[in-house]
Amino acid sequence: MSTTLIEVRAAKACDATAIATAHDEAWRAAYQGIIPGAELGKLINRRGPQWWDSAIRKGSRVSVLCFGDKIAGYANYGRNRARSLHFDGEIYELYLRPEFQGLGFGRRLFTAARRDLIQSGLKSMVIWALSDNETAVGFYRGLGGRMVARSSEQFGAKSLDKVAFAWGN
Ligand SMILES: CC(C)(COP(=O)(O)OP(=O)(O)OC[C@H]1O[C@@H](n2cnc3c(N)ncnc32)[C@H](O)[C@@H]1OP(=O)(O)O)[C@@H](O)C(=O)NCCC(=O)NCCS
């Protein structure tokens, strides 16, 4: 019998290419039909291996979920960016490659990122999701997130609603 090691750990610069691949696959699957194609392409192209390499080297907090020698997904997080919201921390992104979704890995990444934020003194936190991303909205509600704000974001000619979920405070 063989066993596969599953772990969440801090990303290293050598993970940059695998994270860029996870980002590309997850964003295409999640946002096709929601974000206009040309805009989605631009957003993905901007975030290639070099972008991730630089973010990790600069000390941005990025965690990866490893399934054996594969990177199944990632989360990046830090201080809350929205001044209008009184929460300490924020998970900026949490994405799994499509083949690794629905297996409990999202919960593991979320829990690890939340714990890491709390350990660094950021006790409460928010996550934004596009309202049309029903999977994400269902997932964050399921994890006990309270809907605390609404806003919108422009993607080319299209404006999309987004919602903030909060934990703590
Ligand atoms: C959203 C995402 C991170 C969730 O991760 P996941 O591994 O698929 O979810 P999990 O298997 O860990 O599910 C955790 C819990 O949430 C619940 N859940 C997951 N998706 C749900 C949904 N759409 N509606 C209701 N509950 C949901 C699960 O039932 C599970 O509950 P349980 O632990 O009580 O059984 C993942 O599907 C993903 O990467 N999706 C595409 C990208 C994306 O939308 N990212 C978020 C951007 S803001």
Instruction: Give the CATH number, domain containing residue 36.
Output: 3.40.630.30
Q: What is the sign of the dihedral through the CA atoms of 135, 67, 8 and 18?
A: negative
Q: What are phi and psi of 96, to 5 degrees?
A: -120, 145
pLDDT at 1 exceeding the cut of 80: no
Number of separate domains in the chain = 1
1 belongs to a structural domain: no
CA of 102 to the centre of ligand 1 (A): 6
pLDDT at 66 exceeding the cut of 90: yes
124 belongs to a structural domain: yes
What is the pLDDT averaged over residues 54-58?
Answer: 98
Pocket (CB within 6 angstroms of ligand 1): 26, 30, 94-96, 101-107, 129, 133, 135-136, 138-139, 142
What range defines the domain where residue 156 resides?
6-167
88 belongs to a structural domain: yes
> Are the CB atoms for 157 and 146 separated by under 8 Å?
no
- 83 versus 120: the higher-pLDDT residue is 120
What is the pLDDT averaged over residues 98-108?
Answer: 98
